[in-house]
Amino acid sequence: MKYIKKKISIKSRILRSILTLLIIIFLGIVFSFNLLVNTYIQKSSNTELKKATNLVENFDKSLIPLKYPKEKPLPREFEIHEREENEFPEFMKGVQEKVRMAEMQSNAEAMVIDKNYNLVFPTREEDFLKDINEYEFILKQIKNDKISLEYNEPFKVSTKNKKYYASILKIKSVESIEDNYLVLFIDISATLNLANQINTLLILVMIIAGILATLTAIVLSNKIARPIQKLCGFAKNIGKGKFDKNDFNFADKELDELSKIMNKSAEYLDKYDKEQKIFFQNASHELRTPLMSIKGYAEAIKYNVIDKDSASDVILEESNRLSDMVEELLYISKIDNITKDYELVECDIRELLSNCTLKQKARALNKGIEFKYDFDEEEVLLNCDEKSMYRAFLNIIENALRYAKSQIIIGCKKTNESIVVYIEDDGDGIKNEDLDYIFDRFYKGNKGKHGIGLSIVKSIIKKHDGDIKAENTDLGAKFTIIIKN
């Protein structure tokens, strides 16, 4: 089963296209903005954390272990107790120095924890200026996220109210004192909040832009749809046979051009329709004459009121005349068919003219008429429908044979821009009152046969983007055909 795509209006299509474009642009802006913000936060945080880490590591390298005088060794039973009272304060002093140095020379904050994720420094008793609760929240989240204390890369950690970038650095112990860990962290909440506010502002801008785009799409689509609806109505009238001209005068150049083209088409169809009506009226009249003759002589034979032999001759003559007329009418109807396609081939016009005269040679000899040629020595090539062009030349030559006295001159010349063909006889010429109507259908001048032959010639030449004219010369009548090369 063939899928039929659902049709949508121009208004819907424009609105959908504009909104889709806005959404794509908005999502692109939001994505790019947040990507840049996150990249900036990550890079700047990593830079500060690395800076603080390097400071602490360099501090550890310069740390000198405590030494005791050898000349006064302490008793064995007092050795451990003495270390606990002297070394631990020295260790905490070093820890405090590391924390203060990291906080002073970078944007990072610091705290010291043990291997069980307990806060060692700062404490509520030692540093009442710091938010110890927030520090404990950070530790709790690190523990909940199961982040190893041996993890060397920066990581994100979030509490209820804030977000941080953090890193963990192991602090070297002094002899028996167990290892502790320095947690460095940077608060990125303010930057993220700013980004969220900008995102909210972007959403608001998107909504406003969407509303404005919708209004613009409605106005624009109405401006396009209404002229199209008028043109559709005009096209329907043309289809119904109403070819009245409409002056729309649209503001848009393309629609105005379309209306002009449709008016020209209506004018052409109106002319074509009228010509067809006149054609059928004239054709019926021309056909009626031989038919009436045939009928009359047939009735005369039936009732024995006329000699059969003479009546039969008239019937045969009128039948041949009727047959020729029907053939010409059928041919001219084919020419008038607006969908007729010509089979264009490259032909030598001199050869076509020679073939036409060859066909009429016997008739010319019987009348004592000589064909004279005025052809170019080189080929005169033209892309044309060979059968139609042959018919056009043949009709003119037959017409010339009807009026010529002793000769017919046939010329064929090629210029830079066109091909010129002329056929001239030495007859009495064309009456001045007939010159303007000689190519009209069913117009018969002196000795005219059906009044169709020359109209066929004109139609064929016009179909090949050429022109034909008739004139009187000192010799007689002359027909000149000019076709663009």
Q: What is the pLDDT of residues 355-399, one digit of tens each?
A: 999 989 988 999 999 999 999 989 999 999 888 899 899 989 988
What average pLDDT does this structure show over 418-435?
Answer: 90
Question: So what's the pLDDT on residue 369?
Answer: 93
Contact by Cβ (8 Å): 399, 446 = no
Catalogue the long-range contacts made by 156-161 (C-beta closer than 8 Å, 24 or more residues apart).
157/185, 159/134, 161/134, 161/189
Tell me the pLDDT band of 78, cut-offs 50, 70 and 90: very low
pLDDT higher than 50, residue 71: no
Within 10 angstroms of residue 293's Cβ, the number of other Cβ atoms is: 17
Structure-token pair, residue 267: 């004018």
pLDDT higher at 383 or 449: 383
d(CA 406, CA 425): 8
d(CA 332, CA 164): 91
Question: So what's the pLDDT on residue 444?
Answer: 65
What average pLDDT does this structure show over 157-168?
Answer: 87
Contact by Cβ (8 Å): 440, 455 = yes
pLDDT higher at 453 or 362: 362
What average pLDDT does this structure show over 221-241?
Answer: 83
Tell me the pLDDT band of 481, cut-offs 50, 70 and 90: very high
Average pLDDT, the chain: 79
pTM metric for this prediction = 0.46
Question: So what's the pLDDT on residue 108?
Answer: 81
Q: β-strand 370-375 against 381-385: which pairing, if any?
A: unpaired
Contact by Cβ (8 Å): 160, 137 = yes
d(CA 207, CA 209): 5
pLDDT higher at 459 or 175: 459
What average pLDDT does this structure show over 157-174?
Answer: 81
Q: β-strand 418-425 against 407-414: which pairing, if any?
A: antiparallel
Name the β-bridge partners of 110. 184
What average pLDDT does this structure show over 117-121?
Answer: 84
Mean pLDDT lowest for which of 161-165, 404-408, 446-450?
446-450
pLDDT higher than 50, residue 176: no
Identify the residue whose tokens are 């000198």: 64
d(CA 354, CA 350): 6
User: Quick one: CA dihedral 455, 458, 462, 463, positive or negative?
Assistant: positive
d(CA 100, CA 164): 19
Which of 425, 441, 429, 358 minimizes the C-alpha distance to 394? 358
Contact by Cβ (8 Å): 214, 144 = no
Rg of the chain over all Cα atoms, to the nearest angstrom: 53
Tell me the pLDDT band of 257, cut-offs 50, 70 and 90: confident
Which of 335, 296, 346 minimizes the C-alpha distance to 460? 335
Contact by Cβ (8 Å): 459, 338 = no
What average pLDDT does this structure show over 208-230?
Answer: 84
Residues 6 or more apart in contact with residue 361 via CB below 8 angstroms: 371
Of all residues in the chain, the percent with pLDDT exceeding 70 is 79
pLDDT higher than 60, residue 323: yes
Question: So what's the pLDDT on residue 105?
Answer: 66
Tell me the pLDDT band of 98, cut-offs 50, 70 and 90: low
| Domains of the chain and any CATH numbers | 10-66+77-194 (no CATH), 253-336 (1.10.287.130), 344-484 (3.30.565.10)
Residues in the chain: 485
